[in-house]
Every structure is written in structure tokens, then in C-alpha cells.
């Protein structure tokens, strides 16, 4: 599906062709905005193409959503299975993306956050990523929430800040505190102290029309989507990503073939 989306996107003429000799698309803010504008245009065209083939939850069609949410799956059985399967390795997808020099951020590892007066919680709260902006050197704590089929895709696409309110665990509240008051937190990455400049949220997919509003309301430096991250990796022909997908496909095929031959 993703590969098909990219072929369609190039045919529509709204994306570059990802040639290896092109400069990194995130080399500066101007290039980053160009890529985001192209994504928005391509999302609009994809929405027109697939809006009749998906349903459930928020009615915002995206290429990534089309992988999981289909009209031919009335009981969401397929969607539930694929969502759980993807959840096994979804964090690794983000890590691979951040390891690619063409990504705007690099991943320093999992951060552990605590406040100076939080003496009761010695271990602190460990989040998913620590992103360092490749252009500015600033560092951000990051948490990933990629809830796909949950509650009939209710939280799959981020469209409003209230969708974050159902996350009640202390670790997520520590993450939200990092967005507003990063200087009030004690942060360690790989047991080494580090200063952070804010927080970056990673979500499954994002409504580009409301992204900036949510960032402003919640104080996030950025909101990344797994959908766009997969899209980048496909466009870049990232070798580690391609190896991972091939390996997991092979393992899955071996499992199902084996279950038919025991």
C-alpha cells in the first residue's frame, strides 16, 4: 500500500523523486516546509482516491489508515490483528527513521524524567525517544502513541488536543510537563544527565489542518506521525527499513507455513 502510494504521488507530480544525489530535504527550515507542503497536497489527493474504501472512527482518510481500516472488514478482525502485529515493531520504525541522516532528528535513546521534588519516585518515568534536532542541536523528550484500531480508530488520527486526555498514566503527564517546563525536570539518557528544550509527540497519523493548533495548545515543539515516517523511509529507500520489513515478512510466512504443516 505504501509503495503504491508513492508511485501514485510521483505520478501526480507533487513529490520529488528521492534521487540519491539530492541534498537532504531537512537541511534547513525552508526545505522542511517545502516537503511538508508537498505531503499536505499528496494527502489531499490520496484522500480523494481512497475516501470510499475506509470507515470507522474519525472520517479522515489517509494512506496509512488504508492499510488497516477497510470496508471489507466489518468486524475489524483484520484491523485488530494488523494493529497488534504492527505494535510489536512500530517503535523500531521510528528509531530507524531517526538513524537516517536525512531525518530532521536523531535519537539519543530513552529518556528518564523526574522532578527535583519527586523523591518518592526514585526510578523516574522512562519515555520512548530523545530527539536531537540535527539543525539546531536542541534536545527534546519524546513519547509515541500509535493507537490504531483502539475504540474503532477513535485515536488513530490526531485532530484535536482533547484526544490526549485519555492518557492518564504518570509517565505521560511527565511527558506533558516536558513540553511546558523542561527546565523543571531532571533528565537522564543512558544514565547520563542531559538538558532538554521541550517535547515532541509521535502519533499514528495527523490532521495537517489542526497540527499547529495542537502544538500551540500543548506546547509541543513538533508532532511527528508514523504515517509520514514510513513514507520518508520508503522514499529514501532506507536499507535498514527494507531489511526489517523483509525479515519480519519472512518470519511471519515461516510461522503460518509451519502451522499448516505440523
Domain boundary assignment for the chain: 2-259
State residue 1's pLDDT score.
Answer: 41
H/E segment holding residue 98: helix 77-99
| Separation of alpha carbons 31 and 112, rounded Å | 33
Identify which of 76, 79, 81 has the alpha carbon closest to the alpha carbon of residue 64.
Answer: 79
* pLDDT tens by residue, 51-84: 434 444 455 556 788 888 877 888 899 999 999 9
Q: What is the pTM of this model?
A: 0.78
8 A C-beta contact, residue 180 and residue 132: no
Three cell numbers, residue 257? 507455513
Quickly tell me which residue has 499528496 as its cell. 42
Q: Residue 246 burial (CB < 10 Å; 0-12/13-18/19+)?
A: exposed
State residue 63's pLDDT score.
Answer: 75
State residue 18's pLDDT score.
Answer: 37
State residue 33's pLDDT score.
Answer: 57
Counting as low any pLDDT under 70, the low residues of the chain are 1-62, 118-122
Identify which of 182, 235, 225 has the alpha carbon closest to the alpha carbon of residue 90.
Answer: 225
Amino acid at each position: 500500500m505504501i509503495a503504491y502510494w508513492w508511485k501514485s504521488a510521483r505520478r501526480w507530480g507533487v513529490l520529488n523523486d528521492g534521487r540519491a544525489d539530492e541534498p537532504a530535504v531537512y537541511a534547513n527550515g525552508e526545505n522542511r516546509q517545502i516537503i511538508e507542503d508537498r505531503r499536505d497536497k499528496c494527502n489531499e489527493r490520496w484522500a480523494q482516491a481512497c475516501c470510499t474504501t475506509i470507515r470507522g472512527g474519525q472520517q479522515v482518510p489517509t494512506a496509512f489508515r488504508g492499510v488497516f481500516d477497510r470496508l471489507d472488514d466489518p468486524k475489524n478482525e483484520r484491523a485488530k490483528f494488523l494493529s497488534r502485529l504492527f505494535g510489536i515493531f512500530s517503535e523500531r520504525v521510528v528509531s530507524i527513521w531517526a538513524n537516517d541522516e536525512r531525518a530532521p532528528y536523531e535519537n539519543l535513546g530513552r529518556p528518564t524524567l523526574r522532578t527535583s521534588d519527586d523523591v518518592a519516585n526514585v526510578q523516574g518515568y522512562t519515555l520512548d525517544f530523545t530527539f536531537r534536532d540535527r539543525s539546531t542541536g536542541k534536545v527534546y523528550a519524546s513519547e509515541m502513541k500509535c493507537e490504531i484500531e483502539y475504540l474503532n480508530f477513535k485515536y488513530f488520527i490526531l485532530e484535536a488536543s482533547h484526544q490526549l486526555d485519555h492518557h492518564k498514566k504518570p509517565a505521560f503527564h511527565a511527558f506533558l510537563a516536558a513540553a511546558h517546563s523542561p527546565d523543571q525536570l531532571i533528565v537522564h539518557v543512558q544514565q547520563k544527565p542531559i538538558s532538554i528544550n521541550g517535547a515532541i509527540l509521535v502519533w499514528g497519523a495527523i490532521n495537517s489542518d489542526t497540527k499547529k493548533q495542537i502544538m500551540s495548545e500543548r506546547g509541543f515543539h513538533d508532532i511527528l506521525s508514523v504515517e509520514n515516517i514510513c513514507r520518508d523511509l520508503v522514499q529514501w529507500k532506507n536499507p535498514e527499513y527494507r531489511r526489517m520489513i523483509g525479515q519480519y515478512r519472512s518470519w511471519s510466512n515461516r510461522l503460518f507455513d509451519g502451522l499448516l504443516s505440523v
